[in-house]
Structure 1
Amino acid sequence: MELVTVERHERGIARVVMNHAAARNALGEDLRNALLPVFQGLFDDAGTRVIVLASALKDFSVGGDLSRMDTLSDPKNGRRRIASAHKLARVLLAAEKPMIAEVRGHAVGAGAGLVLFCDTIVMGETASIGFPFPRVGLAPDFAIGYTLPKRIGLAKARQALLYSRSYKGAEALNIGLADDIVADDAVAETALQRARELAAFPSLALSLTKRMLELSDDAFAVLDFEATAQPVCFASDDFQEGLAAFREKRKPNFDPSVQ
Structure 2
Amino acid sequence: MGSVDIERHGRGVVRLVMNHPESGNGLGEAFRGMLLPAFEELFHDRACRVIVLASALKNFSVGGDLSRMDTLSDPKAGRERLTSAHRLARVLLAAEKPMVAEVRGHAVGAGAGLALFCDTIVMGESASIGFPFPKVGLAPDFAIAHTLPQRIGLARARQALLYARSYKGPEALAIGLADDVVADAGLEAKALERARELAEFSSHTTALTKRMLTLSDDPEAVLDFEATAQPLCFASEDFREGLAAFREKRKPRFDPDIA
TM-score bin (small chain): over 0.9
What's 2:56 paired with? 56
Q: What is the TM-score of this pair, normalised by structure 2?
A: 0.98
Structure 1 residues 147 and 56, CA gap change in structure 2 (3 angstroms): same
What's 2:130 paired with? 130
| Aligned residues of 2:8 and 2:15 also touching (Cα < 8 A) | yes
What's 2:223 paired with? 223
Amino acid at match of 1:118: C
2: distance between equivalents of 1:206 and 1:60?
A: 26
2: distance between equivalents of 1:193 and 1:37?
A: 26
| Aligned residues of 1:16 and 1:53 also touching (Cα < 8 A) | yes
What's 1:252 paired with? 252
2: distance between equivalents of 1:193 and 1:100?
A: 10
**Shift in Å, 1:132:** 0.2
State the Cα RMSD in Å.
1.0
Q: Please give the secondary structure, in 1, of the residue aligned with 2:139.
A: coil
**Shift in Å, 1:255:** 2.4
For 1:93-152, what per-residue CA distance to the aligned partner results, in whole angstroms no more than 9, with x for missing partners?
000000000000000000000000000000000000000001000000000010000000
Q: Which runs of 5+ in 2 are unaligned?
A: none
**Shift in Å, 1:258:** 5.5
2: distance between equivalents of 1:67 and 1:80?
A: 18
Amino acid at match of 1:182: V
What's 2:16 paired with? 16
Check if 1:113 corresponds to 2:116.
no
What's 2:46 paired with? 46
Check if 1:186 corresponds to 2:186.
yes
What's 1:36 paired with? 36
Percent sequence identity over aligned pairs? 75
1: distance between equivalents of 2:178 and 2:222?
A: 25
2: distance between equivalents of 1:234 and 1:2?
A: 45
| Aligned residues of 2:2 and 2:21 also touching (Cα < 8 A) | no
| Aligned residues of 1:200 and 1:255 also touching (Cα < 8 A) | no
What's 1:74 paired with? 74
1: distance between equivalents of 2:140 and 2:150?
A: 15
Aligned residues: 259
| Aligned residues of 1:126 and 1:184 also touching (Cα < 8 A) | yes
For 1:28-76, what per-residue CA distance to the aligned partner results, in whole angstroms no more than 9, with x for missing partners?
1111000000000111111110000000000000110111111110111
For 1:167-199, what per-residue CA distance to the aligned partner results, in whole angstroms no more than 9, with x for missing partners?
012210111000000001111010000000000
Structure 1 residues 258 and 63, CA gap change in structure 2 (3 angstroms): closer
Q: What is the TM-score of this pair, normalised by structure 1?
A: 0.98
Check if 1:157 corresponds to 2:157.
yes
Q: Please give the secondary structure, in 2, of the residue aligned with 1:87.
A: helix
Q: Please give the secondary structure, in 2, of the residue aligned with 1:70.
A: helix
Task: Return 89-98 or 165-174, whichever deviates more.
Answer: 165-174
Task: Return 70-79 or 89-98, whichever deviates more.
Answer: 70-79
Q: Which runs of 5+ in 1 are unaligned?
A: none
For 1:69-91, what per-residue CA distance to the aligned partner results, in whole angstroms no more than 9, with x for missing partners?
11110111101110110000000
What's 1:142 paired with? 142
2: distance between equivalents of 1:5 and 1:83?
A: 26
| Aligned residues of 1:11 and 1:255 also touching (Cα < 8 A) | no
Q: Please give the secondary structure, in 2, of the residue aligned with 1:22.
A: coil
